Amino acid sequence: DVKVTQSSRYLVKRTGEKVFLECVQDMDHENMFWYRQDPGLGLRLIYFSYDVKMKEKGDIPEGYSVSREKKERFSLILESASTNQTSMYLCASRAFSYEQYFGPGTRLTVT
Amino acid sequence: DAKTTQPPSMDCAEGRAANLPCNHSTISGNEYVYWYRQIHSQGPQYIIHGLKNNETNEMASLIITEDRKSSTLILPHATLRDTAVYYCIVKDTNAGKSTFGDGTTLTVKP
């Protein structure tokens, strides 16, 4: 079975802190994605990566950056967390042209 | 990617078939129809996908109209555990990203 894991299920950070969200997949997938999910707004794509060291902006990249140094790991970085970044963050991975597999999500609260 | 339109919510009686519609009138020839669902507090889960032929797997059936402008996901015997938000997405399999809309909240009632 494909497994996508995220470093934390729940995270509480203070405004201005630097936040790292880690995602690891074990199926050698080329593509990895970071989404955020908010009530009434659905899933919104932040960034995605189609190869090591490659990244593309999604629909809402502002305030975020990403890192993909190894194929299995895709990190989402909040350089200076703000309260409007309180959300559920979902990571997904996908082989070249097939379905996405999602992690369990990280619920981030910025106070 | 083509935009999709789904009803915001639907109810279904337990044991009955749940038929979830999706409109994708601007779909292009190389775009597939994908369905995912998200049960509360979990990440989305892949269900099924298809190009133009109807598809069936252990979870559901996908019926795509001949003009490919709409599709229906069918859960043949809905259970309470099928209560979830169901997302219909159309995309080129070679495209990097998928755009998730608001989906349909399916509530299965006893």
pLDDT digits (tens, 9 = 90+) for B28-65: 888 899 999 999 878 999 999 999 989 999 999 999 99
Task: Write out pLDDT tens, residues A24-71.
Answer: 999 898 889 999 999 888 889 999 998 899 898 988 999 999 999 999
Q: Please, which pLDDT band fits residue B99 given cuts at 50, 70 and 90?
A: confident
Is 90 exceeded by the pLDDT of residue B78?
A: yes
Contact call for A58 and B97, based on CB within 8 A: yes
Instruction: For residue B91, give both structure tokens.
Output: 């995309």
Say yes or no: A59 contacts chain B, CB-CB below 8 A: yes
Taking all residues of chain A, what is their mean pLDDT, rounded to a whole number?
A: 92
- As a whole number of angstroms, the distance between CA B86 and CA B90 comes to 13
Contact call for A42 and B101, based on CB within 8 A: yes
The two beta strands, B9-13 and A87-94, are: unpaired
Cβ neighbours for A93, distance < 8 A, ≥ 6 positions apart: A2, A4, A23, A25, A27, A29, A31, A32, A33, A74, A100, A101
Contact call for A102 and B103, based on CB within 8 A: no
- As a whole number of angstroms, the distance between CA A25 and CA A67 comes to 14
pLDDT at A86: 97
The residues in B 37-56 lying below 8 A from A, measured between CB atoms, are: 41-46, 49
pLDDT at B95: 62
pLDDT at B71: 96
pLDDT at A1: 65
pLDDT at B42: 86
Is 80 exceeded by the pLDDT of residue B96?
A: no
Please state which of the ranges A70-79, A91-100, B28-37 shows the lowest mean pLDDT: A91-100
pLDDT at B24: 93
- Percent residues over pLDDT 90 in chain B: 72
Looking at per-residue pLDDT, the higher value among B1 and B65 belongs to B65
